[in-house]
Amino acid sequence: MTNSDVPNGTDWQIYQGTGKPHYGLDELPEPPPWRRFDGGPVVLQPPGFDETGTARRLGAVQRAQTYRATSHVVDAVNAALYLRRPLLVTGKPGTGKSTLAYSVAYELQMGPVLSWAITSRSTLVEGLYSYDPIGRLHDAGLTRQHDEAPDIGRYVRLGPLGTALLPWHRPRVLLVDEMDKSDIDLPNDLLHVFEEGGFVLPELARAPEPEHSVMTADGHASVALQRGEVTCRAFPLVVITSNGERMFPPAFLRRCIQVKLDPPGPEQLAEIVMAHLGPEALDQSSELIHRFLDRRSHGDLATDQLLNAVFLASSGGRVAGRSEETLARLESLLLQALGETP
């Protein structure tokens, strides 16, 4: 990329929400003194955002390119980047909370998104690493007395949070999805790791050998750890999403940059339809967008429901051009309020 691909140095916004990749992250100033970390040696960046099977499988590039961030969301992302703080994104389902993480990673060339889907059973250790003692014990039983025992590191795999905290040359993006589903203790458990920018794997710290190679969550390479220590060099952009179904502890909230995503209005919906389906589909969907907005005022609807309806009505092959009665039935089926029984 050329220098023209880098945002104007006089503009404080590194992330601009344009959907166009650039290397503006290289212009990010030094962090505040209290958010500087000294992890090392530096770990080489993984393949680019769109060069992984995961990105292609999830349609991550399409999601990132078509995401449309409002000005207050752009400001919140940049504040999190400058301050090296987690970004807590709240909003109703379907407002693009998780897609924001892909948008930032794609535009700022931060590599594939590391994703941690939270459930009621999720624990801090799950996010940091996994250890397979049964596999190690089994292999040890197969090892002859004169053979060298397998390195314990081969039974360790870093989790998404643990991988994000490696000393990457440039920060990674970690998506912690639907934090409000977590056990009540998880937000507080994360505080120490966020503040320290790292952690120690006790299984490796106790081992007699000082260095062990472990696999990362995205599986691109093994990384050498000294005494089981993981410390970041550049604090990752941690995007934490929540549907707003619960309150988080004040200690957790004060360490996050908070932003709420409102459902997109008519102009933003038109931009989204245009980005995903093109001008012809947009020309044919103005009335459908208005009906969608009317339905949304009486119940929760997600933007992808609108996209599904527009696709079938305007460019869905055999569906497009059907009778008005058929299209009306499909529209009613697709634009059903979330949580509403058919």
Q: Are 201 and 225 within 8 A, CB to CB?
A: yes
Q: At what angle do helices 266-277 and 286-296 cross, to 10 degrees?
A: 130
Question: Which fold would CATH assign to domain 16-261?
Answer: Rossmann fold (3.40.50)
Q: Which helix (DSSP H) or strand (DSSP E) does residue 198 occupy?
A: strand 198-200
What are the residue ranges spanned by the domains of the chain? 16-261, 266-334
Q: Which pLDDT belongs to residue 319?
A: 62
Dig out the tokens for 230 from the structure.
Answer: 């993981």
DSSP 111-178: -SPEEEE--TT--HHHHHEEE-HHHHHHHHHHS-TTSPPPPGGGGEEE-HHHHHTS-BSS--EEEEE-
**pLDDT per residue as tens digits for the range 102-159:** 999 999 999 999 999 999 999 999 999 999 877 767 666 665 555 666 778 888 999 9
DSSP 219-264: -S-EEEEETTEEE-SS--EEEEEE-S-S---HHHHTTSEEEEEPPP
pTM: 0.88
**pLDDT per residue as tens digits for the range 290-301:** 999 999 988 889
